[in-house]
Amino acid sequence: MGTRQELFRSAVDVLHSGRSLDIVGEHGSGRTHFLRRVGDYFVGLGWRTITVTGLPAFAQTPMVALAVAGLGDLHDSRPTSIAASVRSLSDAITPGRTLIVVDDSDDLDDFSAGVIRTVQTSAMTPVLSSRLVHRTQRSGAVSAGGFTTTYAMRLPPMAYGELEAALEAHVGFRIEPGTLSRVFAKSGGN
């Protein structure tokens, strides 16, 4: 286990090598922020990021997560077919210059996950996903076997110094040590 900066560098290395990465962490551990930070890094390099978010409200409705992400259309309030979604996602990919980001993959419907896995395997595109540590990957948005290699990375709570730096950068001034200690104690670094 390392600092967030060390984990960030490791994540970038894994994704640059063409492998996929699954970020696991507790509620409030900063999984979404970490995904955004890694995605922004690749955008800065000229890559395209395609972001899909798993939502519990849509977990039982096939293909809505992809339609909400702009991949496929809605016809009469229903998403397009699986084949049309595969085509739409495949067309959005620039080989070797695209990263698929799936936030809260444990809440992604099985059909959307299947489309992502199909395109991931055929286009050899890395996928960066996140999920809660105590929940198993229900849908398997990121392939854990087959023709792709996926690594898992546990995102720990922030260390005291990391929390101090993040809060001070956010508010723009130094936080009194007693207040910072209370925030750290109550949040557990999350």
**52-94 confidence digits (pLDDT tens):** 999 898 888 888 888 888 887 655 556 678 888 899 899 999 9
What pLDDT is stored for residue 145 in this prediction?
45
Residue 141: pLDDT band (50, 70, 90) is: low
What pLDDT is stored for residue 21 in this prediction?
95
Q: Which two tokens stand for residue 125?
A: 């595109």
Task: List, in sequence order, every residue forming a beta bridge with 25; answer none if it has no partner.
Answer: 132
Rounded to a whole number of angstroms, the CA Rg of the chain reads 18
Q: What is the mean pLDDT of residues 43-47?
A: 97
Q: What angle do CA 122, 126, 154 make, to 5 degrees?
A: 140
